[in-house]
Chains A and B, each alone.
Chain A
Amino acid sequence: MLSLTIYISFIGALVVAMLPAKPSSMARILALMVAVAGLVVGVVGYVADFGKGLVILTDKAWVPSMGIHYLLAADGISRTLVLLTGLAAVAGVLFSWNIELRTNEFFAFFLALIGGVYGVFLSYDLFLLFVFYEIAIVPKYFLIAIWGSTRREYAAMKLALYSFVGSAMVLIGLLAAYATSGSHSTSLIALHAAGLPVSFQMWCFPLVFIGFGILAGMWPFHTWAPTGHVAAPTAASMLLAGVVMKLGAYGCLRVGIWLLPHGLDPWGWSFIGIGSWRDVFAVLAVIGIVYGALVALAQTDFKFVIGYSSVSHMGFVLLGLMTLNQVGITGAVMQMFSHGVIAGLLFAIVGRIVYERTHTRQLAELETMHLSRRIPFAAWAFVIAGMASMGLPGFSGFVAELQVLIGAWMAKPWWVVAAGLGIVVGVAYTWRAMQKAFFGDGKASVHDLEQERAHPFAAITWPEVTGVVLLASVSLAVGLYPRMLLDQIEPAVKALLAGGVQ
């Protein structure tokens, strides 16, 4: 049932691509219908399989001579992320309602990207996962290169090449694991049970983890992310930061940690406290959290602040993964969901609501525009989104980050100290951006007021309102009643850890 999400998205993409370019409303409406259909299927599948463990959706032999199967399956983690993708897809379409240039091609690439993402989350065969992972690269390139803004061609090429290099590393790991396990099957379940030797896992794990980590925005391979997010059109930024970076984190979890658990074993010697790949990646995650936050604090471009905050928040996900305990990894998956929703909201506000009206993202210029008075909806929305992003209790971010920190404390206390620093700086950069953009100090002069009356901003449209309400209410609901997600995620994480991760 959940596999319908993939097929609906790809067929939708094909149909939208063949539509004529001129009445762009046809493309939009069809894209919205497809995205909503995907979300509905995701929700129904989520609720229907609540409490069940791993559910196999499709298993067809694809290349029997090599043991490759078209194997789709979902456990609690996959179902949660499919739900996230559905939300991000609908919100993305809503916030792209005003695109007039080559609308049908835009939504075709958008839906193709969504289809690829659904495919990664639902694949349980490593080869199939890799295929969907790579399918997602090409639409990203075109979305940014054609409809993007600042330095779009450079940003698009950088993003495409970094993603491709990351997936090349994963391909090497995939071929190695397949060959070492006897070339019988590429199904994740079979490879997990194949008992890959520890010495093999010791070098394959970092290769695969870094390969997926590049897409997850792991420091120091994160540099494609701020450039790419800023250059991308709003919907693409929302998808990139919201869902595509989670593809990398999901790969780290499912393929890295589950398939190659002994790669995290201690080496037997340690150097300044680092004695295993677990320590290495945890340190990189913590650096990512603090570095991302500090750099966000120094930005002059509103969208760059959000871009770097994504790097910082993804650091929490990676830190949670490296705790290797129930609480930490659950927190990491929660953070994937929470940050997906919140980052989508933030990019939507900055890109669609503010930039499309003010035509500038420079905080210094926005400071003079009195946005809290002229577009109060944007100010309200950003205050809510900013609080959620900071980790205010009541929103999903708090639940996620709390669990990650508890898990980190159980693993190595000093990680919590450094991560906590990141949270404090997080408050700083969020409030700084909020204040500069919306609540600038100066009193409006008479001349300013005349200008504003002469050139008023466009009114807030219904797609924008719907999108903001959708995302904000999801974050609030999960923050107030996290069990709606935790009851799915926790059993799945328990099963994953029981499979051999110490």
Chain B
Amino acid sequence: MPELFRAESLSHQFRDGTDGLKNINLRIDDHEFIVIAGRNGSGKTLLARHLVGISTPTAGFVFFRGIDARGNLKELRKSVGFVFQDTDSQILGQTVAEDVAFGPSNLRLSPAEIRERTREALIEAKLEHASDRRPESLSGGEKRRLSIAGVLAMRPDCIILDEPFANLDFESVQDIVRICRDLKKNGVTLIIVTHELEKILLLADRLVILDGGQLCFNGAPSSASPDLFALHGLACPYEGFFPWTFPRGELPPREPRQP
């Protein structure tokens, strides 16, 4: 498959001297479904920001379709969509439909084409009923779907979702997983940044684990051992290993409360 992104010796050092990323070498191909995981502060969001060119490496390079990403921003913006974890701050329209239309209008499409893309994206995100509502009135799950719809309307080749399951209820998580499954079916490259592996790893082609800014694992999800997850502060998503499953049947007996 043709190469989409390539990080070469990518490093990022913060102003206080701490390392955000250390010598990352990673290749992401077209039509892949990749999950980037790691504990809090491991550098996974920072890596995603480098991929879309909104952070500048201290050393190394990020290539997008073989060209330095920061020198190819116009093409990058057209081809890669990014959904932030903080959905509230990325809403840019007075109504749901206007927010979704923001991206396509920047692509200088005709008003009819913008309307068509907006309609399709709203249907895909199950938000067609809310097209005239103001975004602030949506629930957390709807806002997340709105931010995804805003990216979908631009019809990118690749979508990066930063912590897409954060603060969502089960139903909303299912909606996001369904959207991801549909996008995968349509051949869109997906990069999911999350530590909630149990929700999405089943769909992924590849798992990348970061810890302390270093690439610790890069391979098929099935080849990651339960110990590896534990070592890097992640809950092992495999059946029988996921720590928060609840036994069916009677509740475990509780110790009587001491007076």
Are A and B subunits of one complex?
no
List the interface of chain B (C-beta within 8 A of A): none
